[in-house]
Structure 1
Amino acid sequence: MAWNICWVGLMSPAYAGIAINLEENATAWGGYQEGNPTWVIENSLANSPTGKALRCGLTGGDPYSNIHCYRNLPADPDAHFFTLELDFYLPETSFNNQGMPSRIQALEFTMNQWQGGKRYEWALQWMNVGSNGPQWRYWNPHQSERWVATPIQQALAVKQWHHLQMEGEIRSGQVYYRYFIIDGARHELNMTVAPVLTPNDPDRLAVAVQADGNYAQDAYDLLIDKVNFYHHPKLSMLLPLYQYPSHWNANSYIWDDVAAAQAKVDITAIINPANGPGASGTPNSDYQIGMQALRTAGVTLLGYVPTCWGNSQAQASCYNTRSLVDMKRDIKAYADHFAVHGIFFDEAATDSKQVSFYQELSGYARSLGLPLIVLNPGITPAASYVSNDVVAQSAVTFESSYAEWLQAIKPNDWTQTTAARQSALLVYDVPANAVSAVVNQALQWNYGYLYFTDDGNDGNPWDSLPTYWHSLLDYLVNLQTPPNNTFNSQIGVKPTALIESNTITLSGLSATTALTVTGGEYRKNGGAYTKAKGTVNNGDTLQVRHTASSKSNTTVTTTVKVGKNVYAFKSTTFVIDSTPTPISFTPQTGVSLNSWVESAIVTISGINVAIPVTVSNGEYRLNGGAYTKVKGLLQAGDSLQVRHTAAARAGKMVTTSLKLGNTSVSFKSTTK
């Protein structure tokens, strides 16, 4: 792990808290070495899904030397939430020196903010060699053992790409580890660490990876691809600003209220003069005044473009008859005359068949200098629309009334395993006394953009601000992350072990609600475990348990249903290795007739489950205990010794045979 780094990498531009495909320009990356390695940083065409992967390679050097490959980014003093997502390729390696020395000692992934003389660092390490390895650990620079173990043990598949996502937060001035997702499995961390004082370092952001060398400093490459970094203030507001900017009328003008609110909450406002930029394609003087005030305040602006469901439905159902030419004309008008930061595509399709249609539109917008794209299908679209920002950075996955929100159930799709900023929520007819519950539920369902209003009775809920506008702002400013209500999957558990989940706290329930469980047991508020049906209320805690599978790398799921909400707890057994590292007993010659002959002591390694041991024509003992001929069980770390009675005649051999699982070994002695 690198600290006190001499930063020489290039500072690279990022837009509005989003830095995409950082791997594509290797010259923007710097290297910091620990020990004395030889190393390389370059773009790699080999084995790269995109053809532009970054190679952070150890090529040799002194034992246990490391290379830290980093990318500096401009400072963002307002950022409090951080997401790093990337793909990485795990080359051929053994695990924890089992069978053969492991080429990879450890891999590390970090995101950083230096601000005001402090360094906030979120770092994960996949520790391959060490006690309980392979295992995930997190960074705490204030402990004597700075890499702190998590309970998550995982032997990642070799010669394969893996997807990693880290989520961190600055909470009350502290580094807060939220969770990470590896290959679709989410692991809650909920750890708080103090920042490090760095009074002489300039303010900046950075992301980094590190390849750690082994005792022989064997060469290997850490390839990374699709490296995206998101940094933004708490929750952000996606505000449909569909009211005319009547700046001369103080009683009805709301654009100044939106501009003032930017000082409290990060706001992205959607500008919509006439279901698009209007026939002239240019803003009138009122819009120019209103938009300038918003830009001066730091509000991000999106231009509204209706897309008629990607022409996948009859065009008569759209607000306007639309063609691809119409849509591109609107985009160009916004780029040329409105000085917006991106485009809001309304009436967006959801089917993956329409991705290429929207890819053409978003590509056109980006070619005109409008990088930020938000889709509004109103429901969850196919993941391919937002995967690696192919079409858009975000999608509105719920736009409806408060009554419909109450009927919604927690999503079980890509929105739960991607950056929160990729999902947006628009709810109208929300009463003032329900705002906190809706906000908390939105947080738990992984929404990063949101907006609520009590408007809606006039048919257009987006032409005014809610009556509780200022209290909504205050609530968001002082927002506390609600209790965790997600069961964390456990990977690498022991076969047949009794596995308990973390404890979750229920919220968003309007009344006493029925509960059922399948595939295990649950307990409420710390009571006794049961399989029986029950009821729960807001604030109740739940914990579940089940027996892990007896098979290798196999998942068991316990499902709890609370009303319409479903909570799943999964455990996956580790990859069973029942073949011990090869052992041998040195033959003994010249032993006395009829004497007891003992072998040297060997230590068993290379297995992670108990295996049977049997003996013929002799005896064995484990860990210095009594000798026996009875079948037993052998575990990693056990010491093993064998003995037999030497032959009664000179020059004769006696052989004792042992079977260790499916492996055989013998001990021989020959009389003098």
Structure 2
Amino acid sequence: MVRALEILFPLYIYPQDCAVSTTACAWKPLYDSLSAYPNIQFTVIVDPQDGPGPKNTLPDSNYVAAITAINAYANAKTIGYVASTHSARPVDEYQDDVDTYLYWGTQDANLAMHGIFIDEASNDPTTIPYYTTFSQYIRNLTWPGGTPTVIHNQGATLPQSFFDAMPQDIFVTFENAYSVYESATPWTIWTDPIYESLPGPRQAVIFYNFTGTVTDMVTITDTSAEIRAFKYAFVTTGPDYNSWSTEWSTFVAAVNGTNAWMAAHPDTYP
């Protein structure tokens, strides 16, 4: 199978007017990209209230319509946001959040989540038992579509022992401002041996405050996939994930171009 970069999208924008129509919906740029690039896989992180909201309740009508629309696309997968507070969050609290995301799909198949994004994750090796228990709880449940996607957001490098303890999980090993890329000579993700030593297909990178050119965007997607073999990437011009990047279309097109190049050279990018 040829290597391909996927988009990990923290979609924390409120889906205003999505109950009215997909045309009026605040998430329309995503729907447009899903339609325009059917060969790109999008993993969309859904986060109504810093989590799903009260236990065993459904999201509001705008979220219902917006999630239903995403789940209709074959190249999209929705996963639920759960905070871990750097391993300080009580087990019963995060389990309630996980259970509630699963509950959505039992009430309406169109609202099904397909895994969990564990945010505010620690990279301290002493927290491995906490995150292993967290991951196992998710994986022991029955999810629509089979095996759930579990992604931990440490946002920084972490020891190999995390990957060994949770062999099916993905880890965000870089989440930072684009200025970190600009100021580094050369940038550590491409040169730091720890990134190379960790399994590339189980890593994700996230950039915010992007201020570069189209060429800079392509450099990020090309290097992420072609040199490091990272599984996921996301780039936004915003300081957070509560508004649309002004370069959203540029980013998606860059991912498409990177994947097209790798598909044309399968022997180089297996």
TM-score clears 0.5: yes
Tell me, yes or no, if structure 1 residue 411 matches structure 2 residue 192.
yes
Q: Partner of 2:203 in structure 1?
A: 423
Give 2:251's aligned amino acid.
L
CA deviation map 1:613-635 (0-9, x unaligned): xxxxxxxxxxxxxxxxxxxxxxx
Which residue of the partner structure matches residue 466 of structure 1?
245
Paired residues for 1:224-373 under 5 Å: 234-246=4-16, 247=18, 248=20, 253-263=25-35, 264=37, 265-280=40-55, 281-298=57-74, 299-311=76-88, 322-337=89-104, 338-370=111-143, 371-373=148-150
Distance 2:61 2:92 in 1: 27
The answer to whether the 8 Å contact 1:260/1:297 transfers is no
The correspondence for 2:223, drawn from 416, 420, 441, is 441
Higher helix share: 2
CA shift, 1:255, in A, is 2.3
Cα distance in 2 for partners of 1:275, 1:388 equals 27
Is 1:405–1:427's contact at 8 Å kept on the other side of the alignment? no
Give the superposition deviation at 1:300: 0.9
Q: Is the 8 A contact 2:22 2:28 kept in 1?
A: no
Structure 1 Cα separation of the partners of residues 150 and 162 of structure 2: 11
Residue identity opposite 1:441 in structure 2:
T
**CA offset at residue 284 of structure 1?**
1.8
Question: Does the 8 Å CA contact 1:255/1:294 hold for their aligned counterparts?
Answer: no
Deviations 1:429-449 (A, max 9, x none): 112502122223323233220
8 Å contact from structure 1 (residues 432, 454) kept in 2:
no
- The secondary structure found in structure 2 opposite 1:297 is coil
Whether contact under 8 Å (2:22, 2:66) holds in the other structure is no
Amino acid at match of 1:290: A
- Conserved 8 A contact 2:128-2:165: no
1:419 Cα deviation after fit: 4.3
**Aligned residue type for 1:452:** V
Shift, 1:240, TM fit: 0.2
Does 1:478 pair with 2:262? no
Task: Within 5 Å, give how 1:52-451 maps onto structure 2.
Answer: 80-81=2-3, 234-246=4-16, 247=18, 248=20, 253-263=25-35, 264=37, 265-280=40-55, 281-298=57-74, 299-311=76-88, 322-337=89-104, 338-370=111-143, 371-387=148-164, 389-390=166-167, 393-406=169-182, 407=184, 408-409=187-188, 410-413=191-194, 415-433=195-213, 434-443=216-225, 444-451=227-234
Question: C-alpha separation between the residues in 2 aligned to 1:261 and 1:393?
Answer: 26
Q: Which runs of 5+ in 2 are unaligned?
A: 105-110, 263-270
Offset of 1:418 from its aligned partner? 5.0
Percentage identity across aligned positions? 23
SS at the partner of 1:345?
strand
Instruction: Please give the secondary structure, in 1, of the residue aligned with 2:193.
Output: coil
Shift in CA distance, 243/454, structure 1 to aligned 2, threshold 3 Å: same
Tell me how far apart the structure 1 counterparts of residues 154 and 257 of structure 2 sit (CA, whole Å).
Answer: 31
Indicate the structure whose relative CO is greater, using CA pairs within 8 Å and at least 6 residues apart.
2
Task: Report Cα offsets for 1:139-166 as digits up to 9, x if no partner.
Answer: xxxxxxxxxxxxxxxxxxxxxxxxxxxx
Task: Tell me if structure 1 keeps the 8 A contact 2:9–2:42.
Answer: yes
366 and 239 in structure 1: CA distance in 2 versus 1, 3 angstrom threshold: same
* Pair 1:259–1:418, CA change in 2 (3 A): farther
Give CA deviations for 1:99-142 in whole Å, capped at 9, x if unaligned: xxxxxxxxxxxxxxxxxxxxxxxxxxxxxxxxxxxxxxxxxxxx
Runs of 4+ displaced beyond 6 Å: 249-252
Distance 1:252 1:466 in 2: 18
Measured on the aligned residues, the alpha-carbon RMSD in Å equals 2.2
Q: Matches of 1:306 and 1:454 in 2, distance apart?
A: 24
Q: Is the 2:6–2:232 contact (alpha carbons within 8 Å) kept by the matching residues of 1?
A: yes
Deviations 1:594-641, CA, capped at 9 Å, x for gaps: xxxxxxxxxxxxxxxxxxxxxxxxxxxxxxxxxxxxxxxxxxxxxxxx
**Equivalent residue of 1:386, what SS?**
helix
Superposed, 1:511-660 pairs within 5 Å as: none
CA shift, 1:249, in A, is 7.8
Q: CA deviation at 1:291?
A: 0.8
Amino acid at match of 2:161: S
Deviation at 1:324, TM superposition (A): 1.2
Q: Is 2:237 the counterpart of 1:454?
A: yes
TM-score scaled by length of structure 1: 0.33
Q: For residues 250 and 335 of structure 1, what CA distance do their matches in structure 2 show?
A: 24
Provide Cα deviations, 1:540-583, integer angstroms capped at 9, x if missing partner: xxxxxxxxxxxxxxxxxxxxxxxxxxxxxxxxxxxxxxxxxxxx
| AA at the equivalent of 2:31 | A
In the TM superposition, residue 252 of structure 1 has moved relative to its aligned partner by 7.4
The one-letter amino acid paired with 2:61 is S
Question: Residue by residue, what CA displacement relative to the aligned partner does 1:425-472 show, whole Å, maximum 9, x if unpaired?
Answer: 11011125021222233232332200001112xxxx212232222232
Match of 2:107 in 1: none
User: Compared with structure 1, are the counterparts of its residues 259 and 369 closer, same or farther at alpha carbon in structure 2 (3 Å cutoff)?
Assistant: farther
For residue 474 of structure 1, report the CA deviation from its aligned partner.
2.1
Deviation at 1:268, TM superposition (A): 0.3
Contact 1:242 1:273 in 2 (8 A): yes
**Shift of residue 379 of structure 1?**
0.4
Whole-Å separation in 1 of the counterparts to 2:119 and 2:199: 22
Most deviating of 400-409 and 290-299: 400-409
In the superposition, relative to structure 1, how do residues 250 and 372 fare at CA in structure 2: closer, same or farther (>3 Å)?
A: closer
In 2, Cα distance between the equivalents of 1:369 and 1:405? 40
Q: What SS does structure 2 have at the residue aligned with 1:340?
A: coil
TM-score scaled to structure 2, two decimals? 0.79
Query: 2:250, 2:30 → 1: CA distance?
Result: 14
Indicate how the Cα distance of structure 1 residues 252 and 416 shifts in structure 2: closer, same or farther if over 3 A, else same.
farther
